[in-house]
Chains A and B, each alone.
Chain A
Amino acid sequence: MMFRASIAVILGLAGLGAPAAAQFQTDGPMVEASLVSDRSAVAPGETVHLALHQEIRPGWHTYWRNPGDSGEPTRWELSLPAGWRAGEMVWPAPTAYPLGPLTNYGYSDTVTLPVRVSVPDNAAPGPVTIPARATWLVCEDICIPEEADLSITLDVGESVTDPAGAALIDAAFAAAPEPGGDRLGAGVEKTDDALVLTLAGDALAAGPDGIRNLEVFPVESGIIDHAAPQPSIVEAGQARVDLKSGYLSRSGLPGPMTLVLTFERRAGGGWAREALELTAETGARVNTLAAPALSSSPGAALPGGGAIDQGAPAAPQSLSFLQAAAFALIGGLILNLMPCVFPVLSMKAITLVEKRGAERGEARLLGLIFAAGVIGTFLALGALLLVLRTAGLPDLWGVQLQTPAVVAGLALLMFLIGLNFLGLFEVGTSLQTVGSGVRDTGRGGAFLTGVLAVFVAAPCLAPFMTGALAFALSQPAAASLTVFAFLGVGLAAPFVLVSLAPGLLGFLPKPGPWMVRLRQGLAFPMFATAIWLVWVLVAQVGAIGVIWSLVAFLTAGFAIWAFSLKGAVARIAGVTGIVLAAGSVAAASQLDTVETVSPSGSAWAQWSPEAVAAARAEGRPVFVDFTAAWCVTCQVNKLGPLSSGPVKDAFAAHDVALFRADFTNHDDAIAAELARHGAPGVPLYLVFPADGGAPAVLPPLLTNAIVIQALERAVEGRV
């Protein structure tokens, strides 16, 4: 390839010469480099390992053979005496460092880069000083090229082990990828802008219970988009990783792809990282696994590479299919009680109550139609997510509420339903809104009630259904859709039960004037929901969004009033009102999204991967709150446990660095981080231990005890 200079690091074998350089150790500002050996004395004919050892300042990193989007690989070369031979340099498996939209591959803290050196049979006894020259780039936010002239003196004679050097070099070999061709076959196939990497072989025999966190590091830069998430799926003896094409593979792969695959294997009570070097054949698939979701966590952002991370929570995809279906069912049932669904529940109640007088058979039918609406919508949304997944777009649940137009539109809709409940207008003439459709007690109305129930429930889904959704999205289409269908079954079940079981129906009160009052009373949950949605809009587009939203309310109200009058002028005025209301919603949605800034003096800093890495480099435990204004569970946690005295005291006592990532508006970096940790949406709570291990993922609904115990584990390094 033409990019040899920056990719292949070949140790030059400088020729003869008896260098008499004095022992010199560099003390570069960011990297302290030294030359180490696993033998302090060597015998003629023996093989010895020499290595460049770098002690890297915390927060900085040096580069792997493929540095990723920027940077430069470390290079070093020995000037060996005549007859001595050096092999190729060994690169320990790297870590991925995200830097905003870019990703680099390299090493932090320490790295040892060994090379095999063979001593000639005729080497003359006595001390031999071997000089070496090393150059590297070391980067944090900024980059500094550094270099060093180093040397090491070995005695030729009786072989003597150097325990310190041998330990470093052994560790480097242990962290280096093994040739994996005989343990794992690999194929890579280009689809639209994706590269589908399929793997099959004994190395993955342990399956999803024993293997996790697959990461792919191509040896050549530009083959993949280094910064793109790498969704993966593991089954017994096989796996699939979906990569995004880089600029070199946009119009096809230039040839077989050499890569280092790393993963974690369950070992004893923890997980140990393994690395294999593979060559994937182009245009080949070695298994038939379906596309994975953005749910597997590459764990790439963890400084230190996490050789072992003990007791981290099981990945969501380790849920079995039946468990996932059961969770989906329970989740659907719980949804009936959630504030997002409550307004819809109210509407369902009205429909049901009004049907009380009608024939039982009709009520039964309506119940089933409602269930069909709910389940059908879940299936449609599941299908939509599958399409998005195939298209490689971020498929995070609940994000529809990140679109200001949807929020503004829903706020207006809730306002109108409220007015309708209050009796300001009746449905059936010309005003056609979702609310009116829902008020329809006919069969079509029942179906649409089901549809709307799902739409309004979406933001509440993520917190309760994280596991099931992650599972669903990582499965083949049929299994995935089954889970979605079960969510629907759960949501529709109570209503269907009431409509099917005459006994239960008998518990419902008899029709009467109270119904009107009930309906009017239910207007207020609608208005409350509208207020909540407007508040979300404030967080998204600022105060101007509120004004446009209120203008939409005003003009929609005006339209309703105008339509209640007779005559052409009133009609025209009504239509004008509708147009203005729609325009106001559109205007609100056209506003630029605003940055959510933590109030000054807040204990919570704005999240960024760099900020987290910096805090971890200081040895502090880190707590990250992934939140959004439209996420009710997030707000409950924020105002509850996360603001409570005991938790605040624990934060202070353990010197916890607090970060808040606000997903109210879409943010690529946050989306990538959520995907990395297998979360389909917010909330997500991460606790990074002080000792640099993998983070603990807390449950979506927090309690004081959960947070405090997690912090204590983080400080003790037992996470």
Chain B
Amino acid sequence: MISRRSLTTAAGLGAASLLTLAAFAAEARADAVPGEAAPAFTGLTAAGETISLSDFAGQTVVLEWTNHGCPYVQRHYGGNMQGLQADAAEDGIVWIQVISSAPGEQGHVDGPTALSLNEDRSATVAHTILDPEGTIGRAYDARTTPHMYVIDGAGVLQYAGGIDDQPRPRDGDPAPTPYVTMALDALAAGETPDPAATMPYGCSVKYG
């Protein structure tokens, strides 16, 4: 006969199984999917502040994964990226750089270095988040530098992918399709960006 005690035991074992399942579930890779809520994050900025995505409710947020040693990043910081950042600032858009390079990897910098890099490049960003553990990078499945994300005021991810469609423009190529600009323009016009997801290109994010 199964007593009440045995039932309790069974419940205990069941709970252990559930814990195991929960551990599995927690391991499942979080993905940032356009049209769904952007993964929440809290990070330490180069200036030493702690900021969260929720701090910017009501504002459009751009996330830019960056690594100053990556040739693709360097190409866009030839002027294109600074232009996008300045336009965004003018439109009240919160532009956040994220550096997910692990210590010892290319692009890993401390706060003061990150700030002086931006100063030297005349980059005007709202914040630079240092993410050496790669926590935010993995939550967003950030794969390359640059890898761009646009989040609307309601916290919904509206665009994820490349900054444009030309990894290495050559003479005679048509002008690049500026995906990020298109996404920001669409949001400003109250529309859904199209495309909402493109292939990011560049160097791999240097996770540890």
Contact = CB atoms under 8 A, between A and B. Distances in A.
Given A70-B143, A222-B199, A432 B204 contact: no
B150 interface: no
A403 B207 contact: no
Interface in A44-77: 69-72
Contacts of B206: 141-142
B43 to A, nearest CB: 18
Nearest to B160: A247
Interface in B51-72: 69-72
B198 A2 contact: yes
Interface residues of A, number: 56
A324 B185 CA distance: 61
Interface in B121-166: 134, 138, 141, 143-144, 160-161, 165-166
B97 to A, nearest CB: 18
Given A143-B71, A403-B23, A5 B165 contact: yes
Interface in B13-59: 13, 16-17, 19-21, 23-25, 27-29, 31, 33
A70 B203 contact: yes
A101 B138 contact: yes
A437 B5 contact: yes
A42 interface: no
A68 to B, nearest CB: 9
A222 B195 CA distance: 14
Interface stretch (A155-163, A315-323, A392-400): A392-400
B13 A434 contact: yes
A144 B75 CA distance: 12
B201 A144 contact: no
A71 B9 contact: no
Contacts of A666: 23, 27
Given A5-B167, A70-B202, A221-B199, A443 B1 contact: yes
- Residue of B3, B205, B208 with highest tally of chain A CB at under 10 A: B3
B9 A145 contact: no
Contact of B1 (A221, A402, A427, A444): A444
Contacts of A144: 71
Contacts of B69: 142
Interface string A332-349: 000000000000000000
Interface string A548-582: 00000000000000000000000000000000000
A217 B200 CA distance: 18
Contact of A444 (B2, B71, B138): B2
A501 interface: no
A448 B9 contact: yes
Given A6-B201, A400-B20, A442-B1, A101 B27 contact: no
B20 A403 contact: yes
A393 B106 contact: no
A72 B5 contact: no
Interface in A125-157: 135, 139, 141-145
Nearest to A381: B17
A102 interface: yes
Contacts of B28: 393
Contacts of A102: 143, 204-205, 207
B165 A3 contact: yes
Contact of B105 (A141, A405, A589): A141
Nearest to A221: B199
10 contacts: A2-B195, A6-B167, A247-B31, A247-B160, A394-B24, A403-B23, A440-B3, A448-B10, A455-B16, A668-B29
Interface of A: 2-3, 5-6, 69-72, 99-102, 104, 135, 139, 141-145, 221-222, 247-248, 250, 384, 388, 393-394, 399-400, 402-403, 405-406, 409, 427, 432-434, 436-438, 440, 442-445, 447-448, 451-452, 455, 589, 666, 668
- Give 7 closest A-B pairs by Cβ, nearest first: A437-B9, A70-B204, A100-B207, A444-B6, A432-B8, A444-B2, A69-B143
